[in-house]
Amino acid sequence: MIKTALIFDIHGRKGYSSNGYSDFVTILNLSHNRIGQCQIAYWPIIEKCAEIGGAIDSFGGKYPTYQLESVSLTFYNYSLFNQEEKYPKLISKLSEIEAVEIVAELLKSFQHQNELGKPTEIEVLNSYHRQSFKDRADEKDFSIVKMSDNNLY
C-alpha cells in the first residue's frame, strides 16, 4: 500500500499503469488488507484509480462492488452482495475522509499493529459466531479477549 501511495505521489496518475506497476496491484492492496485504518487511509488511491479507469472498472465486478465488499467485510464482517442500493451512501461516506498524507497514515497504522502484537492473552471472555450473510452462519468464531495491557480485544 505504501509503495502504491508513493508511486502516485511521485509519478501522479501516469504511474498507475506505467513503469511496470500493474493497476491490479492497486486494487489487490485494498482488498487483501484486513486493517480498517489502512483501508480508510488508502481509499483516496482507489478514488484516483476510479477516475483513471482501467482494471478497476471490471476487477471483481463493476466498480465499486469489489472495493466496498472488502471494506465492509473488514469493518463489519458483513457482505454487500446484492445490496447495490447502499453503494452511493457508502462511497459518499468514504469520500468525505480527508486525504492528508496517505503514506504517513499507513505508517502510523503499521506501527499501531506492531504495538497490538505486544500484549499477551490473559483470558477469553466469550466467543461468538460470525455471520457475513443473513441466511447462513460462517464456520469461524470470534472471541472477546482480555490482554496483559488490561484492554479487551
The predicted structure's pLDDT at residue 33: 93
Q: Give backbone dihedrals phi and psi of 74, rounded to 5 degrees, phi first.
A: -70, -50
Tell me the C-alpha distance between 32 and 15, whole Å. Answer: 21
The Cβ-side half-sphere exposure at 73, using a 13 Å CA radius, reads: 17
Tell me the C-alpha distance between 59 and 134, whole Å. Answer: 25
115's grid cell? 504495538
Alpha-carbon distances of 64 from 61, 91, 110, 151, rounded to whole Å:
8, 8, 26, 36
Tell me the C-alpha distance between 83 and 86, whole Å. Answer: 6
Q: Cis omega (within 30 of 0) on the bond before 64?
A: yes
36-66, pLDDT tens digit by residue?
999 999 999 999 888 888 888 888 888 999 9
Region 100-125 average pLDDT: 92
81's grid cell? 452482495
Whose cell is 468525505? That residue is 96
The predicted structure's pLDDT at residue 20: 45
Query: CA triplet 5, 50, 14: central angle to 5 degrees?
Result: 55
Region 18-45 average pLDDT: 84
Of the two residues 19 and 53, the one the predictor is more confident about is 53
Evaluate if residue 85 carries a pLDDT over 90: yes
Tell me the C-alpha distance between 137 and 82, whole Å. Answer: 18
Region 99-128 average pLDDT: 91
Angle, helix 2-11 to helix 102-116, in steps of 10 degrees: 170
Do residues 72 and 84 touch, judged by C-beta distance below 8 A?
Answer: no
